Amino acid sequence: MSWYRNAVWFVKGLREYTRSGYESASKHFNPADVEVNVAGRSFLVTGANSGIGKATATEIARRGGTVHLVCRNKERAEVAKGEIVTETGNPNIFLHIVDISNPKEIWNFAEKFKNEHKLNVLINNAGCMVNNRELTEDGLEKNFATNTLGTYILTTALLPLLEKEADARVITVSSGGMLVQKLNITDLQSGNGTFDGTMVYAQNKRQQVVLTEQWAKAHRNIHFSVMHPGWADTPAVRSAMPDFYQKMKNTLRTEAQGADTVVWLAVSSEATKLPSGLFFQDRQPVPTHLPLASTHSPPEDEEKLMEVLEEFSQKFKSTSSG
C-alpha cells in the first residue's frame, strides 16, 4: 500500500500544500486572530536562524513577544537576530547556541534556561533531512537524534517551566510527509534495510504527531499542537530535496506562508479553543491519516515510543554535566 499512500499524498500536496493551496485557504482566515499584542509573553523557537523558524520568530517579535532563538550555528544566528531586531524594532530577542541533535547539550541548555527565564510558548521547529545514514558523536542516527529525540528531550525538560504559566503552549512543526508512514518502533534509528532519507524524515514526523497526542493526554494544562507548513521555499528544502525543489520551485509557498499557522497557534486565542493534541494545516485541524492508508498504530506502540524515548532521555541526562 506504500505506492497508494505516496500517490494520494502527492496529489493532495499539489492541491493543498503549494502556494495556491495557501492562497485558497487564507480567504477564510480571520486577520484579527493574529492582530494581537503578546508583550510580556516568552517564546522559544528552535531552528530560528532561517526558513520557517526565522519567519515565525520575526512575526512574534513584531507583536511584542520576548523571543528566544535556539540555533546551532552562532554566526548565522547572530545575523538572523540582528535582522529580526532591525525589522521589528523589538530588542527583546535572545540567542542560545544549541545543537538539537546533541542530547547532552539540550539537557544542559534546558537546566540553565529554567533557572534564568520564564516560558509561555515552545515552538519545536528545528529539523533535518540527512539523505545518507549518518551518526552523531553519541552514535545516534542524525535524523532521529534531531527530529525525534531532540524534540522529545527539549519539550520534556521544559515542561516544568511551561507548567508554571497560564496559557502555555507547545507547537511542533511536522510535515504532511508523515501521512505516508505508519509508526515503526522496531527500527527507530533506521539501521535495517535500504536507507531512504525522505522516508526516515517522514517517519520522524509521524513520531512527532504521536508525541504531541501523548503529551496532550498527560499534560492537560498545556495546549499542544503539531502542524504541517505546506511545501515552502526554505533553505532546508533547497538543500535536502534539490530535485523536488527544481520541479516545484515556482509553486512553493513563501517562508511567511509556511510559518502562518505556527504563528496562529502561538499567539491567537482561537487556537486554544480547539482541543489539545491536534494536527493543523492552514489554521484548521486535519486528519493524521489518509483514507484507506492503514497507517494507524495500536496504542501499545505509541506508549512504547514514549517509553523508549524516555529511556534515551534519562541516559543522556545522567551523563550531562549540568
> Angle, to 10 degrees, between the axis of helix 151-163 and the axis of helix 197-218?
20
CA 155 – CA 309 distance, rounded (Å): 12
What does the pLDDT average to over 143-166? 98
The CA distances from residue 29 to 23, 187, 259, 261, in Å, are 10, 40, 14, 10
CA 182 – CA 206 distance, rounded (Å): 7
Answer whether 257's CB lies under 8 Å from 232's CB.
Answer: yes
CA 36 – CA 196 distance, rounded (Å): 42
Give the burial class of 15: count Cβ atoms within 10 A of its Cβ; 0-12 exposed, 13-18 middle, 19 or more buried: exposed
The string of pLDDT tens digits covering residues 170-209 is 999 999 999 999 999 999 999 999 999 999 999 999 999 9
What does the pLDDT average to over 86-110? 98
Specify the pLDDT at position 266.
98
User: How high does pLDDT run on average in the chain?
Assistant: 94
Quick one: which of 225, 215, 212 has its CA closest to 271? 225
What does the pLDDT average to over 60-64? 98
Query: Which residue reads 535536502 in cell numbers?
Result: 240
What does the pLDDT average to over 273-293? 95
Answer whether 56's CB lies under 8 Å from 263's CB.
Answer: yes
Quick one: which of 119, 118, 288, 315 has its CA closest to 211? 288
CA 169 – CA 29 distance, rounded (Å): 21
CA 82 – CA 90 distance, rounded (Å): 10
Task: Please compute, for residue 54, the number of CA atoms within 13 A of its CA located in the half-sphere on the CB side.
Answer: 20
Specify the pLDDT at position 322.
46
Is the pLDDT assigned to residue 296 strictly greater than 70? yes
pLDDT-wise least confident of 115-124, 229-238, 255-264: 229-238
Specify the pLDDT at position 142.
98
pTM of the model: 0.96
Is the pLDDT assigned to residue 149 strictly greater than 80? yes
For residue 320, what pLDDT band results from cuts at 50, 70 and 90?
low
What does the pLDDT average to over 227-236? 90
- Please list the active-site residues: 201
For residue 319, what pLDDT band results from cuts at 50, 70 and 90?
low
Quick one: which of 126, 161, 129 has its CA closest to 245? 129
Query: Which residue reads 511536522 in cell numbers?
Result: 174
Specify the pLDDT at position 234.
87
Fold of 3-315: Rossmann fold (3.40.50)
What does the pLDDT average to over 24-32? 97
Specify the pLDDT at position 71.
98
What phi and psi, each to the nearest 5 degrees, are found at residue 71? -135, 160
Is the pLDDT assigned to residue 123 strictly greater than 90? yes
Specify the pLDDT at position 248.
85
Helix, coil or strand: residue 65: coil
319 versus 244: the higher-pLDDT residue is: 244
Quick one: which of 212, 196, 77 has its CA closest to 151? 212
